[in-house]
Chain A
Amino acid sequence: MKKIIGLFAVCTLLLVSLSYAHFHYKINATATLYANDKKQLTAVGMSWVYDQQVSDMMLKSGQSINNLANGIMTDLVELNYFTQLEFNGKRIATTRPKNYQLVSIKQGNKNLLKLSFVLPLQSPLFIQGNTLSIVHTDPSASASIFYHHANNIILGEAFKSLCQSRVQAIKGFEAGEAPELVKIRCKK
């Protein structure tokens, strides 16, 4: 009996000592709206800065920056680029991203990785008089993408005078869910 109780105690201690939270990481994002000559939305440019932990993991993975960039974009296909664009609440179809680039940047004494890509819309869209939402989710429940401030939504010349962006934190968001409500409301 003593042996069994001992075994229980050892297992419990092992579990307690091993218990810690599921792996999460943060991405600080900036989005840029692109328009054509008719002032229709054609694409959304993304710029993501990975947090130090993930930047370090990638930099120490032994891959070149170009290989890493290709690997990231390949893996992101299955994860829908963590991004869902919604037009008045309905999902907008996008095509394969173009112009992607991964660079190492310095922020203070940190070496971080910054991924930029452009997510083109399948067909251009008049957003005047409507609302565009950007929703970032991670199906593997690890990444949380933050804008923090409306200034990180760059409206560009075409939409600057018409649209207003709003970033609202979502309280108690679950891992992998959108941490913020990102809306761009445009006048007619």
Chain B
Amino acid sequence: MLEFSFTWFLEGFLHPLETPSHLILLVALGVLLGQQASAHLMRNLLLFCVAVIAGFIINHSFSIQWNNELILLILALFISLFTVLRLDHRLSWVQWMLPLLSIGCGLMLGLDSSPVIIPGLGADTFYNWLLGASIGIYATVMILTIISALLRNLFQGIILRVLASWIATSALFVLTLLMVNVSL
């Protein structure tokens, strides 16, 4: 019988916030979705949430050896550049690009989230951790999306574009450190 464990839930909840590449991608996606809030926001958030769970399942079922951190950072870089450009959400390619990016981010975050497993307490740690991680990921994106949606028209959207340029810089910075093999 599975029991709720706050320790493992909190471990999972904090995982995306403690992992630089996850946090950068979550902030980048939240800001982009907030900036493009008029373009099917709920659909994109829902696709993102489903993709995160799909990523968890794929990660657990198959042993995929990708350089996840690199992909996460490159995604964050692209997303923040989209935000800097402040694309018009009425353009048809932007309308299909947003759901694709939401799915891509969700899948990659799920794939790169490996739960804490203590042998003997496996099921408890595993499911509580995953529950915490999903809620942590969703909450971060939603909070950031709401804040960005509120800020999107402020000073003609400059605040979000400046923020996105910081995110792009952070992603590039972490990518550079990865390339020179500095562990974070």
- Give chain A's interface residues, CB within 8 Å of chain B: 1, 4, 7-8, 11, 15, 18-23, 25, 54, 57-58, 61, 63, 68-69, 71-76, 78-79, 139-143, 174
Contacts and interface: CB of A to CB of B under 8 A. Distances in A.
Contact of A19 (B11, B17, B117): B17
B interface, over-half SS: helix
Contacts of B114: 139-141
A8 B122 contact: no
Given A4-B151, A7-B147, A8-B147, A19 B121 contact: no
Given A18-B14, A18-B17, A19-B14, A58 B150 contact: no
A69 to B, nearest CB: 8
A69 B121 CA distance: 10
B143 interface: yes
Nearest to B63: A139
A140 B117 contact: yes
A74 B122 CA distance: 9
Interface in B83-119: 114-119
A4 B159 CA distance: 12
Contacts of A68: 120
A23 B150 contact: no
Given A4-B150, A23-B11, A79 B119 contact: yes
Contacts, number: 66
Given A19-B17, A140-B115, A174-B183, A75 B11 contact: no
Nearest to A25: B118
A61 B121 contact: yes
29 contacts: A4-B150, A8-B147, A11-B147, A18-B10, A18-B13, A18-B17, A19-B18, A20-B14, A21-B18, A22-B18, A23-B7, A23-B11, A54-B118, A57-B121, A61-B121, A61-B124, A63-B120, A69-B120, A71-B119, A71-B121, A71-B122, A73-B119, A74-B122, A78-B117, A139-B114, A140-B114, A140-B115, A141-B114, A143-B118
Given A7-B147, A19-B18, A22-B18, A140 B120 contact: no
User: Which residue of A69, A79, A139, A142 has the most chain B CB atoms within 10 A of its CB atom?
Assistant: A142
Nearest to B10: A18
Contacts of A63: 120
A186 B182 CA distance: 36
Contacts of B10: 18
B115 to A, nearest CB: 7
Contacts of B7: 23
A58 B117 contact: no
A7 B142 CA distance: 13
A174 to B, nearest CB: 6
Contacts of B121: 57-58, 61, 71
User: Which residue of A23, A78, A141 has the most chain B CB atoms within 10 A of its CB atom?
Assistant: A23
Contacts of A18: 10, 13-14, 17
A178 to B, nearest CB: 15
A47 to B, nearest CB: 15
B80 to A, nearest CB: 18
Given A11-B143, A61-B124, A174-B183, A75 B17 contact: no
